[in-house]
Structures are given as structure tokens and as C-alpha cells.
Structure 1
Amino acid sequence: MARSPSGESVLTRAVRIFEAFGPDRSVLSLSELSRRADLPLATTARLVDELTRHGLLSRDELRRVCVGTRMWELAERASPVLGLRQAALQSMHDLQAVVGHSTQLGILDSDQVLFVERLAVPGSTPNVTRTAGRLPLHASASGLVLLAHAPADIRDRVVQGPLPGFTEATLREEHALRRALAEVRDRGFAFCPGHIHPDATGIAVPVRTRGRVVAALGLVVPNDDVAWSLIRPLQVAGLHLSRALDTAQVS
């Protein structure tokens, strides 16, 4: 495979272009894309033209670049979380109908929580998560659930930091984080008032398949006393989803 003077392959440079897009920046000018991918403008232009011909990227009426529908098609077809998302949607819709707040589904990916599905409620509690967005494991309720049940080597690596803060309530000390993870395992849920946004409380429960935690089902609700009353409906939804996943595996 052809390599650049820096030693990077064409594939590696293409991956850097795709990684330049994020939930907050889904459309980029060519110069922005070049800067975010840390590639020369000429290299970026050449790769964008080729990827566009294959439908993996596309251009809007202003010639800005975005991820193409062909990429979405391939990702949906091959997604290892497709079955999880499909099973979760009914539980998430049912839960949202009961509590009236945003629901989300996250999985462990490296040292972060990757949100693979999200059902928002317009005008509800502030929620910084996006579908295909990420957050540090130590900062969010979903992340704490996943970290609490992660292999020991991942837990040790994460709790030793660095632990960036979003608000004053974000867990940033190793001892406090280890104590919180023990509480999550003991109580069966994570409750994080103001950890990401001062006006929001994150609540999450584990989703299991044959006893193994594979995801976290979460709510983002107002940071007030009512939040505690929503733990039970969330736990019920998590149990229903876990049973649905077990049944799907058996069938």
C-alpha cells in the first residue's frame, strides 16, 4: 500500500479524514478537514475526491465535505451493535413514554463510553451526548456502570487518570472514583447529579447478556429530588432489555 513521506499508508490517512468528523462537526470545509486531520491541503483534497467517487464522502451545495450515505450503509450492515440497538429501541421507547426524559444506550469502547443510540425529548434536560458521541468513562453515569463492570486492567488504567472535569461534581480523584465504582456494583445503578452539566442528573443501569454486562441504559433528567423516583423504572427497563437479549441469543 502506498505510503506518504511521513510513512503513513493511504488507508491511515483516509481514517484520519473520517475521524475528523464528530457529532458536533458533521460538515467541514476542505481547509477545516485538512486542519482537523492534520494533513496537507493537497493530500486532503486528493483523498476527498477519491472517497467521494466511492460514495464514502459527499459534498453539499457549498462544496463542504460530509460523510457519505455509502459509509452509513456499510456501517449499518456490518455493525457489531446492530442487534443490541434493535433490541434496545423498544425498551427505550417504553421507558421514555413512562418518564418523559431522554434515554440513551452506551457501550464500552477503549477508555470511553460510546453512545450507540439516543432518544431525545425536545426542550427537556440539557444532554451533551449524541448518537455516535463519546464521553470519558469516569464522568457519566453510563460510563461508571461500564467501568464498574470492566476488566480490572481497564479499571486500573482509567482510575489512575488523568480524570478531566466537566463540573465541580465530576469525579476527579482516584479514591473517590474507586468508591463510586464499588457503590455502582453494590446498588446496581449509577446516579450522577451534575457530573456532566450542573442542571442534569445522569442515571444508568447495566444491560447484561448471559450475565455479562454489554451496555449501559441511561436517563438524563433534571437535577432535583424527582430524579431518585426514576431509578426503578430504569431498572425495570434494563431487566427487560437484558431478558430480550438473552431470548434473542437462545432463538
Structure 2
Amino acid sequence: MSENQAPSSGSGRLNTGVAHNARVWNYWIGGKDNYEVDQAVGDQVAGMFPVIRDVARADREFLGRAVRHLVEEHGVRQFLDIGTGLPTLDNTHEIAQRSAPDARIVYVDNDPIVLAHARTLLTSTREGATDYIDADVHHPEGIIERASATLDLDRPVAVMMLGILNFVLDTEKAQDIVRQVLAAVPSGSYLVLTHPTTDPDLGGEGNVAAMEFWNENATPPITARTRAEVTAFFDGLEFLEPGLVSCTQWHPGTASPVTVPQFGAVAVKP
């Protein structure tokens, strides 16, 4: 997408003069729904922190493995995907419904460019359902209320929070958001989460300068967190093996994964 091409709907709310995370992330994983300003900032960040492109791809691949694992190994049939980002190849509903046609998925985002492409997320098998909610993660009570129109909140739900809590700068607020959402779903539900870190054992030191540049030149502002801070999001839950690890190392299959400074984990609500 070039600077003078806008999405077909919702474009009146788009700010194409400032790089935006959803579009830069889309650029890093090889998508076309981005502008020159997103490419420029994305290239600058990647020059400072070359592993960021690997992080973007690894985060997306983690989503696929986690969804398949929950559907095929744990019988999950409902997903609440908060901070879904731009539609791309193999979205949550496509992965889930490939194995379980009756799966029901609700997407949540409040980025206008994601909203403009939301129709891509609203396809579904006849047996299942998908919905899209234009809502802010900072207001979880509204998300839960609206999601209940599509999801049965008396049955287990996999709550997907991939790369979203890093945009909630206040750690206590981020923890409270997770608590509120998990309180609304029953025992047997899951939290699926990824989050960037500066921890040196995952090679995260480079995130410091890269995020400083990002926060000065792009939107929304972002933060990384330590292993202890990310672990705290799972308070009261039970990790599935292998616990909190670099997201490339979560059920990687036969490949020998490269460690990236992005935590990933899945945990169940007892």
C-alpha cells in the first residue's frame, strides 16, 4: 500500500503521517498493508535491533502453534483474540476452524486500519462463528460484555493476548486487565500471551534503544518487561509445558529454534 492509497473503509480515521505498530508489524512479516512512513521506521528499528523481524515472525508462528495445540490437544472451541492486529495468512479463526469447524472466535482491536480490514476476519465455517469488536484493551469490562454475544462464557475460552500488554505502559494496570478478563471466563479457560523483554538471557538488551526510538517516532508507545513481570500476568494460573520461554521455544516441533527476546506461554485457569 503506497502513501496515496488508503483502505477502502474507515480511512477517515487513519493517520498515515505517523508510523503505527499494526502497520509496521505487518511490514516486518512481509505484508502489504503499510505506508512509507511505516517502512522507514520499521527499517530504522530493524537496523538498530536486527532480530526484530525474527520476533515478528516468531510471534505469528507461536499463535499458530498455540491455537492448534489448544484445539487438538485440549478441546478448546472458543477464542477471544484481544489485539488481533492486521489480518494476514492463517488468522486465529482459520487455524482453529481447520481442526474444529464449530470453533467460535471473537477478535478485538481498536486500530482504525484493522477495523478497515475487519471483514477479512468475519469469514467462518457454517458450524462456527467469528465476530469483531472495535474496543480498547484498557476497558476489559466492555470487551467481555460484547464478546458474550458470540461466546458462551460459561464454557472455557482461550484468551489470546499476543503482543498487546506491552502497549499498556502501567504494569499494575496491565495486570488488572488480565485479572478482569480471566475472572469473566470459567475454570478450564486459557491465557495465551506473548510479550517483549529486555532480559539479557533472551538477547533483549537491544530492545532498550529500539523502544526509545520507537516511542519518539511512532505510535502507540511501547514497553518491555522482565521475566518476573511477565510471569506475574499468570498469577493463579497453571502453565502448560514448557512454561514461560522465548516464544520460538514453545512446542517448536522438530526445528532447533533461535531464541528471540519475546516471551511466550500458555496457562490454564484451574
Give the TM-score normalised by the residue count of structure 1: 0.28
Greater strand share, structure number: 1
Structure with greater contact order relative to length (CA < 8 Å, sep ≥ 6)? 2
TM superposition score normalised by structure 2: 0.27
Who wins on radius of gyration, i.e. which is larger?
1
